[in-house]
Amino acid sequence: MNPASHGPPRRARRAAWVAVILLLCLCPALAQLSRGLKTRSFLFPQYYEDLVTGRGQTNLLKGVLKGAEGQYLTNDIIQITRMQLEHYELDGRTNLTAQAPHCFFDPQAQVAWSTSRLDVIGMEGALLIHGYAGFEVRMTNSTMFLSNRVRTTIRSELLKTSRP
């Protein structure tokens, strides 16, 4: 019987097993290393669902969470510096922009929060909100909570009145 017909030589099989074992040992270590990695120009887009648009399109941007830098922390939480959140109407116009010096973000739950300040500009500048002591934004249902020391300004001269 030909020895080559019995499969790869023992040395090759041992090398393959060693490679598999090393790979299994290195994967968790590489995953732990990636937790401390930073990225510049962090970007997390969110799109309208097809049911909401009624247009058969699934690529209409609903909102985007941006940051100058994003750093992975433990438990799949990302710390974002110089956060900016934009929310868009179905026609693509920006209807709200929010900015904070930093926040934490859970991409699975699509929730951003912080104990720092949050500045919100809405309705093309007619609505100004300044929260000075914490916020939470839930991107899935477009809700924003500002807690403690909130100041709201409505600039009536900028409000557009639509008349039939």
Scan for tokens 């099989």, then name that residue. Answer: 13
CA distance 43 to 64: 7
On whether the CB atoms of residues 137 and 159 are closer than 8 A, the answer is: no
Q: Please report the pLDDT score of residue 2 as a whole number.
A: 52
Q: Of 92, 140, 100, which Cα lies nearest the Cα of 118?
A: 100
For 47, residues 6+ apart whose C-beta sits below 8 A from its C-beta are 58, 59, 60, 61, 62
Q: Please report the pLDDT score of residue 58 as a whole number.
A: 64
On whether the CB atoms of residues 160 and 136 are closer than 8 A, the answer is: no
pTM of the model: 0.69
Q: Please report the pLDDT score of residue 33 as a whole number.
A: 43
- Sign for the CA dihedral angle at 66, 93, 52, 121 comes to positive
Q: Label residue 34 exposed, middle or buried (CB < 10 Å: 0-12, 13-18, 19+).
A: exposed
Q: Label residue 112 exposed, middle or buried (CB < 10 Å: 0-12, 13-18, 19+).
A: buried
pLDDT tens digits in sequence order for the chain, 164 residues long: 455 555 567 777 777 676 666 555 554 444 444 556 778 889 999 888 766 555 556 678 889 999 999 998 876 899 999 999 999 888 888 889 999 999 999 999 999 999 999 999 988 888 999 999 899 999 988 899 998 889 989 888 766 654 44
Q: Please report the pLDDT score of residue 24 as a whole number.
A: 58
CA distance 122 to 159: 11
Q: Please report the pLDDT score of residue 164 as a whole number.
A: 43
